[in-house]
A and B are shown apart, each in its own frame.
Chain A
């Protein structure tokens, strides 16, 4: 299988679906001539022209609001919010309109749209351009939230997201764009709402997503030298959440750690832990469930502080060791 970058995988999914389905179009800031802030849409304007690649003024509300309208009347818009931080600007069209239309019209209207949103810290972009706000989206019934960690998942999930009749928020962690992975040629889809075991293990389950999957994989490799066997589970879709796969894994290992970059308070780690508590897996827990998350602070600009604000590989290693050695 050819190895391509995460960015390329998303680019390919967009192009392939635009070729396959003429109702698919892109809308966002600087996505045409400039190719997008992270280069994801480079070259798409040349192939599809301005009818299919809509460049907008700096108004996220316009981008998403237009997309919602277009979707309701049968188009399949793919909107790009340059940074996930601007999500707060688009919550009305997204949360109050897109998420509700299908319900309020008894299923007679659907909103088949995708909002792509680069997330996360690690680029020195400071507090306004570094947040992980997926939990806000997870709290809105009617939305779907997808957060891939590999090029393979990104392409397969994006195709499913575009074809889904509901508004799907597609979260792309900035640090993933340059990561590489094997992606098969040609079309394939990954169903939404299905988790993936990224590494099998027996001593501890780590539920994690996006860039933290990679940090957790490195940490798991580290502790494997001490004989600790870590299972790494990537939900891939945060809403709806694949609770069964998570609880099955916890039943197997008896220990749970949730790692995410989003801040701790009201973060989705709590949702995972609560789901496990409610499940039969509770009876199999042999240690308190733990979460390792971003600190409850805006992401600092100072690069040392920025690094300290979110979990790093060494933090994950320490946490794994502490849980497995019964320190909690």
Chain B
């Protein structure tokens, strides 16, 4: 077999050389190691030596022609060999023809331009050069390397790199790992990334809620603003104390029933529980002047009469019409005023006088079923009474521990501790309880 004269690769990244000059012609005898070709690379010119001793045959590349490295450029015939022994080799022309042929048959009709080395790799590796994207004009070995790398890249089973702990958290918190930016190496999602994402999600949830309720901010009405200011000032300035007492109103109910029977025969309206309370409280306040007083300029000022305010809920706020000099009014007169003022309150037709000058307030939430509650003192008063619902409950009624079911009502007094100590408040409240539980004297008094 004739020995192929192969163009050696002189540099790691070298792909081709230009034949500068053949120092020997076809038919010349060469010694092994004798310079035969002078080639040019981008860096230098070099002498290429004969790989063996023999006769130079079939020069495949002419001077000034570009030769891919590792390509056979000629053959050396050993002693006794002739040109007939030479194998068939594709010439550069053949390759060009093949290129043309390929380009014609290419589906996209685009001619393939590739270096010979690239072509050879494609042939050896068995893939289609048309699949290889080229960076420059020609497909190079680098292009093929890049292509092969992407082609061989394993498609991972899971799309997002994440630590096992991160995956566990993602599963537990129902977080899509693809939505989480990984802080780990190669953008790997760490457990802390998932937890941060969860936290952000939980922050977003109230955001959404506030958007939902963020319809239109409600401008405070002047009434609402005044309520807000006054109650804030009261609660901030007055040290409140609260006392609660339970009142058995079975006798009061009986009295009220009798009154109502009489009233109906006279065509009077029914006596309400509020009326009843106003009456009894006004009497009681006369016995306990500190509860019917106020603090101003380091003095305690006492009122001569009991002017009882009745906290009345309105659709958009709260108003406190006043029964003036309640201590001097009959229960029927009080009842009349209570009803009139209540009606006016709801109509919004209360006069200035009708809401001024209160010395004590009662607030009744019993009709809502509230057992007991506390109220904020209505300045400049010094006490307010919170009235709970009347409910029938079992109660010990004598020293024999007998239990009866009685209508019971909780009263909670809020008092200004600056002028009313607990004992004073207690005396008032217990006195009030006694009067309410034994009402005949009070009611009949007026």
A286 and B190 within 8 A (CB): yes
CB-contact partner of B191 in A282, A286, A327, A328, under 8 A: A286
Interface size of B by CB at 8 A reads 13
The reply on A188 being an interface residue by CB < 8 A is no
B369 CB within 8 Å of chain A:
no
Pick the contact of B184: A282, A283, A326 (CB < 8 A). Answer: A326
Per-residue CB contact flags for chain B residues 382-404 toward chain A (1 = under 8 Å, else 0) read 00000000000000000000000
User: A284 and B164: CB pair below 8 A?
Assistant: yes
Cα(A286)–Cα(B182), bound, Å: 12
Residues 148-175 of chain B: 1 if any A CB is under 8 Å from the residue's CB, otherwise 0? 0000000000000001111110000000
Check B185 against A326 for contact (C-beta < 8 Å). Answer: yes
Given A254-B191, A326-B183, 7 further pairs, Cβ under 8 A = A283-B164, A283-B168, A286-B163, A286-B191, A287-B163, A326-B184, A327-B185
Residue contact A328 to B185, C-beta cutoff 8 Å:
yes
Expressed in whole angstroms, the Cα–Cα distance for A282 and B166 within the complex equals 11
A285 adjacent to chain B (CB < 8 Å): yes
- Give me 30 A-to-B residue pairs in the complex whose CB atoms sit less than 8 angstroms apart, sorted by A's number: A254-B163, A254-B165, A254-B191, A282-B164, A283-B164, A283-B165, A283-B167, A283-B168, A284-B164, A284-B165, A284-B168, A285-B163, A285-B164, A285-B165, A286-B163, A286-B164, A286-B165, A286-B166, A286-B190, A286-B191, A286-B192, A287-B163, A287-B184, A287-B190, A326-B183, A326-B185, A326-B188, A326-B190, A327-B185, A328-B185
Residues of A within 8 A of B167 (CB): 283
User: Which residues in A have their C-beta under 8 angstroms from that of B184?
Assistant: 287, 326
Measured CB to CB, the nearest residue on chain B to A254 is: B165
Residue of A nearest to B163 (CB): A286
Chain B positions within 8 Å of A327 at CB level: 185
- The smallest C-beta distance from B413 to any residue of chain A, in angstroms, reads 56
Residue of A nearest to B168 (CB): A283
A109, B411: Cα distance in complex, Å: 91
User: A247-277 vs B: 1/0 string, CB under 8 Å?
Assistant: 0000000100000000000000000000000
How many A-B residue contacts, CB cutoff 8 Å?
31
In the assembled complex, the CB of B389 is this many whole angstroms from the nearest CB of chain A, namely: 56
- Interface positions, chain A 279-319, Cβ under 8 Å from B, are 282-287
Query: Which A residues form the contact surface with B (CB < 8 A)?
Result: 254, 282-287, 326-328
Whole-angstrom distance from the CB of A257 to the nearest CB of chain B?
Answer: 15
| Complexed CA–CA distance, A284 and B167 (Å) | 9
Instruction: Give the distance to chain A from B41, nearest Cβ to Cβ, in Å.
Output: 41
CA distance A287 to B167 in the complex (A): 12
CA distance A286 to B165 in the complex (A): 5
The CA-CA distance from A287 to B168 in the complex, in Å, is 13
Query: Which among A285, A286, A287, A326 has the highest number of chain B CB atoms within 10 Å?
Result: A286
CA distance A285 to B168 in the complex (A): 10
Closest to A288 in B: B163
Measured in the bound complex, the distance between the Cα atoms of B166 and A283 in whole Å is 8
In the assembled complex, the Cα of A104 lies from the Cα of B83 at a distance in Å of 76
A326 neighbours in B (Cβ, 8 Å):
183-185, 188, 190
Chain B residues whose C-beta falls within 8 Å of the C-beta of A284 in the assembled complex: 164-165, 168
Instruction: Report the minimum CB–CB distance from A80 to chain B (whole Å).
Output: 45
Complexed CA–CA distance, A15 and B55 (Å): 90
Report B337-386 residues with CB < 8 Å from chain A CB.
none
Q: How far is the CB of A35 from chain B (nearest CB, A)?
A: 52
- A282 and chain B: residue at smallest CB distance: B164
User: Which residues on the B side are within 8 Å of A287 (C-beta)?
Assistant: 163, 184, 190
- Top 9 nearest A-B pairs (CB, nearest first) are A286-B165, A283-B168, A286-B191, A285-B164, A286-B163, A326-B184, A283-B164, A284-B165, A282-B164
Report A-chain residues with C-beta under 8 Å of the C-beta of B166.
Answer: 286
Q: How far is the CA of A321 from the CA of B85 in the complex (A)?
A: 69
Q: How far is the CB of B271 from chain A (nearest CB, A)?
A: 73
A62–B188 alpha-carbon span in the complex (Å): 56
B192 cross-chain contacts in A, Cβ below 8 A:
286
- On chain B, the residues within 8 Å of A286 by CB distance are 163-166, 190-192
Task: Give the distance to chain B from A314, nearest Cβ to Cβ, in Å.
Answer: 22
Q: Which residues of A contact B165 (CB under 8 A)?
A: 254, 283-286
A284 to B191, CA, bound (A): 9
Min CB–CB distance B191 → chain A (angstroms): 4
Specify the chain B residue showing the minimal Cβ separation from A328: B185
Q: Considering residues B164, B166, B168, B190, which has the most beta carbons from chain A within 10 angstroms of its beta carbon?
A: B164
- Chain A residues contacting B164 (CB-CB under 8 Å) are 282-286
- CA A328 – CA B188 in complex, angstroms? 10
Chain B residues with Cβ below 8 Å from A283 are 164-165, 167-168
Separation in Å of the A254 CB from the closest CB of chain B? 5
A326 to B161, CA, bound (A): 14
* A326 and chain B: residue at smallest CB distance: B184
Taking CB as reference atom, which chain B residue is nearest A281? Answer: B164
Nearest A-chain residue to B184, judged by Cβ: A326
- Measured between alpha carbons, how far is A286 from B166 in the docked complex, in Å? 7
| Measured CA separation A17–B165 after assembly (Å) | 48
Q: What is the 8 Å Cβ interface bit string for chain B, positions 119-163, against chain A (1 contact, 0 not)?
A: 000000000000000000000000000000000000000000001
Q: Which residue of B lies closest to A284 (CB)?
A: B165
- Contact flags B306-349 to A (C-beta < 8 A → 1, else 0): 00000000000000000000000000000000000000000000
Rounded to whole Å, the gap between the CB of B291 and the closest CB of chain A is 62
The interface residues of chain A lying within 8 Å CB-to-CB of B183 are: 326
1/0 per residue, CB under 8 A from A, across B212-240: the answer is 00000000000000000000000000000
In whole Å, how far is B99's beta carbon from the nearest beta carbon of chain A? 48
Least CB distance, B162 to chain A, in whole angstroms:
10
B55 smallest CB distance to A (angstroms): 54
User: What distance in Å separates the Cβ of A289 from its nearest Cβ neighbour in chain B?
Assistant: 10
**Residues of chain A contacted by B185 (CB below 8 angstroms):** 326-328
Q: Name B165's closest neighbour in chain A (CB-CB).
A: A286
